[in-house]
Amino acid sequence: MIQLLGFLILPAIGVIALAVKRLCSSIMSDEKIVFGVILATAFLFFTGLFLGFAGISINLVSSIDFAFTLETNGLSIPFMLLAVVLPALGLWSAHHEIKKNTNLFYIFYLLSYMSLIMIFISANLISFFIFWEVVLISFFFIIAFWGDEKIRKRASMKFLIFTQFGSLMLLGAFILMFLYTGSFDINVISNLASTIPSPIADVIFLFVLITAIVKMPIFPLHSWLPDAHVSAPTSGSVLLAGVLLKLGGYALLLFGVLLFPSITSLFQKPLIILGVFTAIYATFVASTQNDFKRLIAYSSIFYMALVFVGLASMSYFGESGAVLLMVSHGFIVGMLFVLAGILKKKTGTRDLNKLGGLMARMPVYTLFLTIAIIATLGVPGLSNFPAELLVFLGAYGAYTLSLVSLVGVLIATNYYLGALKRILFSSLGKTLSKVTDISMSDAIQLSLFTIPIIVLGIAPNLLMGAFNLLI
């Protein structure tokens, strides 16, 4: 059995080591520490998959039921997979990109790494919320300090205000749950959720829903995301799109759909319509973008909207498909952001109008970009397909209209293929004749992204077996 506390202790050691190093200076390089810590954590996770995980509960303040309770619930494993693996892959990009204050960057990165994992295994809502907020703060600084010079001030603030709004809503929901069940423990709450009186339960559901709408994000509270992505450094974007957005889905599933099925079913149709509208909206907006990163950002809104639709469908297919889609999209969008980062690094621009014909210069890059884009379009054999299949199966069963979001897939096909064409094909841009192909280390990083995409595409069972939707 692997003690879940290890996921707190290992990164915490890393943070402390980095902090001490900052104050004193030592021999180990920052990167070695971070990589060591993350590898050790990943090792812990994969061993745990075979040996099982052991929970822990430390009662800190009993009067407000503040305990430090770690245990895996039915959803932990797929999300932990994302939270453990993706940051490690994203970190690869940090090496080239982060030039200033690397030490501090790694501290924030490790902090958010630790907290993201902890969120998925915290069974006490207060500790859950603590880690939830630590992620937010670390991310704010990652954008504000290491973001794109021009827009980082605005983008970071926008990110903070929007997501903090979501967090406060979640806090409100948690407090209400506590007041009406007398506990902050997830298990107790889920047992007593049905006893919460109706108007209060409605308010809780509404709060959780708003949190999810901000975090995932869903129209109309999504406008922080593109700016945040465009501003964030690549490794930050990977973390943001790959794991952070999934927090919204996780919260909605855990505290909304599964706790209050009757309310969800009451609002099911409006929710699905909202999701479908967001999907179409995001793809339309995405097709007008010229910045590759912004395009990916909008298209990730599209996929999160599909997740939303899946969750709102309240069926086994829809919900498990949504979880699968979150995991799959995490890897794919992470890969796309890494590719966009490489593009910027190699050519100096992400503007699709200024690119073209890069396939001649970058065959290996082409291979990976093609795989990523084909994967994101939901082509069978790659991980998005089973996820979308399940989501649509569930959603159609719930509401016929949800199939309309397939139009979004079509538009996505159009703009993604367009992007592919504008970046890679046709004649080489004038300024691009000296561009070189990606390095070996980039190729390794990208292939590591590809592995889960292919494996999950062929055998989604590996993941489907790992979670059950009953908490």
Partner 1 sequence: MINSEYVLFAGALVLILIDFLRKTLGVESKKSLHYATLILLFLAFIVELFYGDMNLPFFSSTQYTGFINSFILFIALAIYAFFLVDSEEHSAFMDFLFVFATLGALLVVISSNLIALAVSIELISLASYGLVFFQKSDRRMEGAMKFVVLGFLSFVIMLFGISLVYSGSGTLDFTGLSIINYVPFIGGIALLMVGLSFKSTIVPFHMWAPDVYEASNGTVTAFLSSVSKTAGLVAMIRVFFYAFPVSSQFVSIMFIILAISTIFFSSFLATVQDKIKRILAYSSISQAGFAFVGVSVLNTQGISSAVFYIFTFAIADALIFLSYKIFEDNKIIYKKDMPLMPAVSKIATICFFIGILSLAGFPPTMGFFGKLLIFSALLQNGYITYVIALFVILLFSTFYYFGLLRELILEKSVFKIQKISGNLHAKEAILIILTIALFIGVIFVGL
Partner 2 sequence: MLYLLILPMLLSLVLIPILGERIIRSSLIAIIGALSSFLLSVFYFWTNLGNSTIESYNWISGSNFMLSFRGDNLTLALSILVSFVSLMVLVFSVFYMRKEDQARYYAEMSLFIFSMLGLVLSNSTLLFYIFWEIVGVSSYLLIGFWYKKESASAAGKKALVLTRIGDMALFAAIIILFVNLNTFSIPNTLSSIGFLPVQTLVLVGALILIAALSKSAQFPFYTWLPDAMEGPTPVSALLHSATMVAAGVYLLVVMSPLLLLSGLDPVIVTIGMFTAFLAAFLALNHTHFKRILAYSTIESLSFMFIAVGTLNTGGAIFYLVVHALFKSMLFLIAGVLAMLVGLQDIHALRLKKLGKTWLLIPASIGFASLAGLPPFASFFAHASLTVGFNMIENILFVFLAFLTALFSFRLFFIVFGKRSSTRLERSPVSAIPIYLLSLFSVVGGVMALYFTNLIPSFAYSFDLFTLCSFVAAVLGVVTAFEIFGKGRYDGLLIGIKLRLKFLFDHPYDGFLTQVGSLFIRLGAIFARFEDMLSAFYDKLADSALLLSSNSRRVQNGDTQTYVAAILVGLVAILIVASAFI
List of residues contacting partner 1 (CB under 8 A): 22-23, 60-61, 63-64, 66, 100-101, 104, 126, 129-130, 133-134, 137, 140-141, 144-145, 153, 156-157, 160-161, 164-165, 168-169, 171-172, 175-176, 178-179, 203
Residue 387's closest CA among 59, 78, 10, 38?
Answer: 78
**DSSP-derived pairing of the beta strands 56-61 and 66-70:** antiparallel
- Yes or no: say if 21 and 33 are a contact pair by the CB < 8 Å rule: yes
Angle at 218 between CA 309 and CA 112, to 5 degrees: 105
Considering only residues 151 through 210, tell me which ones interact with partner 2, judged by CB under 8 A: 158, 161
- Considering only 91, 232, 374, 432, the residue that binds partner 2 (CB under 8 A) is 374
Q: 129 or 415: whose CB is closer to partner 1?
A: 129
Give SS3 for 144. helix
Question: Of residues 316-355, which lie at the interface with partner 2 (CB under 8 A)?
Answer: 316-317
Which SS3 state, helix, strand or coil, does residue 116 take?
Answer: helix
Structure token digits, residue 378: 């939901």
Residue 30 near residue 99 (C-beta atoms within 8 A): no
End-to-end CA distance of the chain: 20
Instruction: Give the residue among 129, 148, 107 at the shortest CA–CA distance from 15.
Output: 107
Residue with smaller CB distance to partner 1, 60 or 266? 60
Which of the ranges 10-18, 52-60, 411-419, 441-449 carries the binding residues for partner 2, by CB under 8 A? 411-419
Answer for which of 110, 411, 435, 453 binds partner 2 (CB under 8 A) is 411
Q: How far is the CB of 52 from partner 1 (least distance, A)?
A: 29
**CA–CA gap between residue 29 and residue 61 (Å, rounded):** 38
Interface residue with partner 2, options 153, 182, 381, 444 (CB under 8 A)? 381
Structure tokens at 35: 């990589």
Q: Which is nearer to partner 1, 51 or 179 (CB)?
A: 179
Task: Decide which of partner 1, partner 2, none touches 302; Cβ closer than 5 to 8 Å per partner kind.
Answer: none
**Residue closer to partner 2 (CB basis): 125 or 377:** 377
Question: Which segment (101-109, 168-176, 256-264, 389-397) binds partner 2 by CB under 8 A?
Answer: 389-397
Among 425, 437, 447, 448, binds partner 2 (CB under 8 A): 425
Looking at 72-80, 177-185, 357-365, 439-447, which segment touches partner 2 (CB under 8 A)? 357-365
- Residues contacting residue 285 through CB under 8 Å, at least 6 positions apart: 298
Pairwise CA distance, residues 68 & 58, whole Å: 5
Q: In 3D, which of 239, 248, 250 has the Cα closest to residue 114? A: 239
429 binds, among partner 1, partner 2, none (CB under 5 to 8 A by kind): none
Q: Is 359 in the site for partner 2 (CB under 8 A)?
A: yes
CB of 119 to partner 2, least distance (A): 27
Contacts of 457 (CB under 8 A, 6+ apart): 328, 375, 380, 381, 382, 383, 384, 385, 386
Break the chain down into helix, strand, coil percent, rounded to 5.
Answer: 75, 5, 20
Residue 438 beta carbon to partner 2: minimum distance, rounded to whole angstroms: 16
* Distance in Å, CB of 106 to partner 1, minimum: 14
What's the CA gap between 139 and 160, in Å, rounded? 9
**Residue from 353, 426, 431, 441 in contact with partner 2 (CB under 8 A):** 426
124 with 181: CB under 8 angstroms? no
The one among 101, 191, 262, 288 contacting partner 2 by CB under 8 A: 288
Residues that bind partner 2 (CB under 8 A): 158, 161, 220, 223, 281, 284-285, 287-288, 316-317, 357, 359-360, 370, 374, 379-381, 385-386, 389-390, 392-393, 396-397, 403, 406-407, 409-411, 413-414, 417-418, 420-421, 424-428, 460-461, 464-465
